[in-house]
Structure formats: C-alpha cells, structure tokens
Amino acid sequence: MASVAASAFFPVPSSASTTSSSSSTASAKPSSISLGKGPDSLDSRGLIAKSVWLWLRRLASEGQCPESHEGQRVQGRVENRQAKVEDGRSVLPSSSAPRTFYNQLPDWSVLLAAITTIFLAAEKQWTLIDWKRGGPDMLTDAFGLGKIIENGLIYRQNFSIRSYEIGADQTASIETLMNHLQETALNHVRCAGLLGNGFGSTPEMSKRNLIWVVTKMQVLVEHYPSWGDVIEVDTWAGGSGKNGMRRDWHVRDSQTGQTIMRASSNWVMMNKSTRKLSKFPEEVRAEIRPYFMDRVPIIDEDNRKLPKLDDDTADHVRSGLTPKWSDLDVNQHVNNVKYLGWILESAPISMLESHELASFTLEYRRECGRDGVLQSLTAVSADCSAGPAELPIECQHLLRLEGGSELVKGRTEWRPKKHGPFPAGSP
C-alpha cells in the first residue's frame, strides 16, 4: 500500500531511463540541476513529497521485515554489510545513499508517542492553571470531577452512587448525600485557591489557628437516587450575619436535571487550640468576600423553636454511643455527618420501614471529642407501631453527653415511602 501511495507522488522510472539518468547526473555539474525535475529536487513541493515518500517506504519495509531471535526488527532496506573482495582484499561496501535528515526520521511509533506526550502535558498545564476571578468558566480538576462556574462563585461536581452507598431501601443513604455536600464544599475552597493548612481553612485563618464549625444545617430531600445514578452537586457561599458564613447546595439528577436535594448551612470560626468561637477577622473577610454570592438562601430558614427534650418527654432513648477513631476529622472532632447518624439511632424501626426522611433541621450546640459517651433521644408525633401510616411524621431529637451537656438538637420530618417497605432478604 505504501508503494502504491508513493507512486501517486513519484512516477517510478523504468530501468533503462534510470540508468541513463544516473549516467547523465554523474556527468552534470551541480549548477545544472533543475528544480522540481526528480526525487532529489529541492523546491518546496519536492521536499514535502520526498519526505512523504521516504516515510512510506520506511513503513513498508518495516512492515515486511521479520523479527530476529533477539526480538529486534531486521530492517528490509539495510544495506548488505557482508565483505566484498576487490583487487584481492576484503572491503565493506559504502552506503548507497548519504545520511540525510530524511532517512534518519524517527519511527511512527516514536513520533506518535512524542505528540501524545506533548498534548497530555499541555492538557495538564491547562487544567491545573490557577483560576483567575473574572475569567471564563474552566475545568479545574484534571480528571473532570469538578469545575468552577458562574465566574468562580459556584462549584459543580458529579458523583456516581456506588453499591456500598445504598441502604435497605435500595437508594442512597442520607449520610451518603451529606458526605457529598461536604466534599464539594472543600473542593470549592481548594479550587478557588483559598485552601490553607487546615480542614477547609483559608491561609489567613491558618495563620490565626482558626477552623470552620457548622452551627445549623437544613436539608430538604425530594427523592433519593439509586445505585448507578449520577448526581450533580452545585455549592456556593455567602455572608451570614456579622460573624458567620452561609453555604448552600443544590443536588440534581445529572441526566434529567430533576432536583434531588437542597441544603443550607451556617458556619462560624473556632480557635483550634482553645476550642472557643472567634469573631470574623477582617483579613479573613477580605480574603473570602470576593467569593460570596449575593443570593437568597436556597431554603427558607426554619426559625421554629426546638422544644425541650429529656428522659420524660422522649419516646425512644439509645445510650452508650461512642465515637470511633474513623469518626474524627483532621481537626480532631467528630464529623458533623456522624451526628445525624447518631440521631437516627434512636428512631423507631417501624418508622424507618414505612417512611423515608424528607427534611431535617439540626442545631449544633457543642462539639464531641473522641472520649465522649452519648445518648440519643427521640420523640415521635404519631404511633408508628399501629400499622402502616399514610400521614407524614414529625420527630424531635436530642443528642447529648451522658453527663447532660447538649450537643445537637433537631427536628426531622418523614413521608410515607412510595414503594412501601422492602421485605427482609429482598435483593
């Protein structure tokens, strides 16, 4: 095929004409060589054509050559190096053609590898470039996991629901969705270039040994994704009062755009050493204010007062809950998602079987260390054991240390499951 392609550019002369041309060329002076009259011509068209011709010849010869027992390819056009006898002495033949740029071109595999390396390096430099505010939207993760949109004010990331993230209802657990919210928040800070030494802390916060702690979380779940679904999470930040920050999330189905969940949270700063709340330093405010989005909260704030809950008013109590080492984050306190799991520990099984969590509001009062022993208290607004309910259920929750200090107070709302409870042992 290479020979056929080459002949389209270079008519192959006959043997007679070749001999005649060779003798005439040998007797001619270099100045008498006319441009464009043979394969050795040096005009631009001849240079391009000759390079293509030589490459095709090389490919053809390499494709027809067997491999030696050492695994090396024997070049079909390599000259015969066996000794010849001239005038009674042994000599090696000289090369039939001078070593020029054309006959020393690299193999196609080497050339393609070089081109691929150049393109990959260029792509990496582009994807890892520092984002500048006011620039165009760009992909900020080299593997396509997340990107900055809306002039750098919103971070978007996709997640695929894994088999180990679904529960007995064959849908993603609420803890899975909450972990995705936390992941996108941290990635937003990192991709905006504001990640300091702490867990989500900015450089100015790190200088002052400050960390973020959540004080309130509101979540509305419209439906739960299933195994294999891909969800799209958008997150952005804004101001909240004099010493706080608000962060919102909008979770959608990446294929249909249907809303899966909306969430809003309030955050304040705490000194990592003293564990006391801190005011909002002006240096930190100036650092993050350009990334605040002027937008109303995605959820109307639930300002209803959470009722007092104790042993006398609680319907269900679960004691002896202790944090594991894996429950601690890098700031040496229990991750806020774990508190939700502890709260649900005291929810009645009958309600979990017939209803699904539709919304919740949590107010964080105090952090839990690794040596804490906790109690989970729940008060239910209806009798869940009286058969399958068709009405929503509201619950009040309290998570406290066994010594009595309140950690988290909350309210949850539950709706009947559309598909009904799954029987035990169902796939």
How does pLDDT run across 174-187, given as a tens digit for each residue? 999 999 999 999 99
Task: Select from 359, 332, 346, 334 the least CA-distant residue to 413.
Answer: 359
pLDDT band at 96 (very low <50, low <70, confident <90, very high): low
pLDDT (tens digit, 9 = 90+) per residue, 55-64? 555 555 554 4
pLDDT of 153? 93
Residue 165 sits in the same domain as residue 145: yes
96 within some domain = no
| Residues acting as catalytic residues | 331, 333, 368
Residue 174 sits in the same domain as residue 282: yes
Residue 288 sits in the same domain as residue 216: yes
Query: 3-class SS at 87?
Result: coil
Here the tokens at position 11 are: 């008519």
pLDDT of 118? 77
Average pLDDT over residues 304-323: 93
Cβ atoms 412, 342 nearer than 8 A = no
- Look at 19-23, 164-168, 407-411 and tell me which has the smallest mean pLDDT: 19-23
Residue 214 sits in the same domain as residue 327: no
pLDDT over 70 at 316, yes or no: yes
Here the tokens at position 193 are: 């270039």
159 vs 83, which has greater pLDDT?
159
Give the helix/strand (H/E) hosting 342. helix 336-344
Residue 378 sits in the same domain as residue 359: yes
Of 301, 320, 341, the last residue of a domain is 301
pLDDT of 281? 93
368 within some domain = yes
pLDDT of 117? 74
57 within some domain = no
pLDDT over 90 at 67, yes or no: no
pLDDT over 80 at 294, yes or no: yes
Residue 293 sits in the same domain as residue 186: yes
pLDDT (tens digit, 9 = 90+) per residue, 335-386? 889 999 999 999 999 999 999 999 999 999 998 888 889 999 999 987 655 5
Q: What is the C-alpha separation between 125 and 128, in angstroms, rounded?
A: 5
221 within some domain = yes
Q: Residue 422: which CATH number?
A: 3.10.129.10
Q: Cα angle vertex 336, ends 168, 144, to 5°?
A: 75
34 within some domain = no
Residues 6 or more apart from 198 whose CB is under 8 A from it? 205, 206, 210, 211, 272, 330, 331
pLDDT of 412? 97
* Burial of 141 from C-beta contacts in 10 A (0-12 / 13-18 / 19+): middle
CA distances (Å), 124 to each of 149, 158, 247, 372, in order? 19, 20, 30, 46
Residues 6 or more apart from 237 whose CB is under 8 A from it? 188, 245, 246, 247, 248, 288, 291, 292, 293
CA distances (Å), 408 to each of 248, 374, 375, in order? 20, 11, 11
Residues 6 or more apart from 16 whose CB is under 8 A from it? none
Please tell me the total count of domains within the chain. Answer: 2
Residue 282 sits in the same domain as residue 314: no
Of 284, 301, 318, the last residue of a domain is 301
Residue 285 sits in the same domain as residue 395: no
113 within some domain = no
pLDDT over 70 at 30, yes or no: no
Q: What is the C-alpha separation between 74 and 94, in angstroms, rounded?
A: 19
Residue 153 sits in the same domain as residue 217: yes
- Chain CA centroid to CA 217, Å: 25
Which amino acid, one-letter code, is at 211? I
The predicted model scores a pTM of 0.66
Here the tokens at position 209 are: 């040994």
pLDDT of 157? 96
pLDDT over 50 at 212, yes or no: yes
Of 301, 333, 363, the last residue of a domain is 301
Which amino acid, one-letter code, is at 255? Q
Q: Provide the domain limits for residue 229.
A: 134-301
CA atoms within 13 A on the CB side of 391: 9
pLDDT of 19? 43
61 within some domain = no
Residue 215 sits in the same domain as residue 151: yes
Here the tokens at position 185 are: 């928040």
Residue 262 sits in the same domain as residue 314: no
pLDDT of 101? 54
Q: What is the C-alpha separation between 101 and 116, in angstroms, rounded?
A: 23
pLDDT of 223? 95
pLDDT of 248? 98
pLDDT over 70 at 326, yes or no: yes
pLDDT of 241? 87
Highest mean pLDDT among 56-65, 106-115, 225-234: 225-234
pLDDT band at 32 (very low <50, low <70, confident <90, very high): very low
Residue 174 sits in the same domain as residue 225: yes
Q: What is the C-alpha separation between 259 and 3, in angstroms, rounded?
A: 61
Q: What is the C-alpha separation between 143 and 307, in angstroms, rounded?
A: 47
36 within some domain = no
Token pair 């396509």: residue: 144
Share of the chain above pLDDT 90, in %: 48
